[in-house]
Amino acid sequence: MTRERIIEILERKTSIPNEGETWDEIDSAYDEAVEILKRITETSHIHYEVRNTTDEYGHEEVTAKCDTMEGAKRILKNACDWYRELGTGRIYEVTEELRYVPVNSKKVYERIY
């Protein structure tokens, strides 16, 4: 089954077959989707980046990378944004493939006074 076909079945958000489809096709699409997600999970890594603004224009730079959220929060306590108090900045959760190409990044914590 092609990925396009799997996506088509999953996007319907139902396990009821369309006309001309069989239950086996639906089961197969779900099984293959689960296997794809498992492979993605096995080949990716999540880390946390502490980011701070570094000038009056609001440019952000990565000031530290950590494997855990707790570690990033500890580092953030000793970091600060431009013209702000110690302990300010943002933490992003970054998902990377094992080739270290960022796949996804989202802000998960912010402390600004």
Q: Are 83 and 52 in contact (CB under 8 A)?
A: no
Q: How does residue 19 score in pLDDT terms, banded at 50, 70 and 90?
A: confident
Show the 3-state SS of 58-100. Answer: CCEEEEEEECCHHHHHHHHCCCCCCCCCCCCEEEEEEEEECCC
Domain spans of the chain? 3-42, 44-111
Residue 32 has pLDDT above 90, yes or no: no
Q: Predicted confidence band at 29 (pLDDT cuts at 50, 70, 90)?
A: confident
Following CA atoms 103, 111, 66, 101 in sequence, which dihedral angle do they give, to the nearest 10 degrees? 20
Query: Rounded to two decimals, what is the model's pTM?
Result: 0.54
pLDDT band at residue 75 using 50, 70 and 90 as cut-offs? very high
Q: Within the chain, how many helices (H) and strands (E) appear?
A: 3, 4
What is the pLDDT averaged over residues 61-86?
90
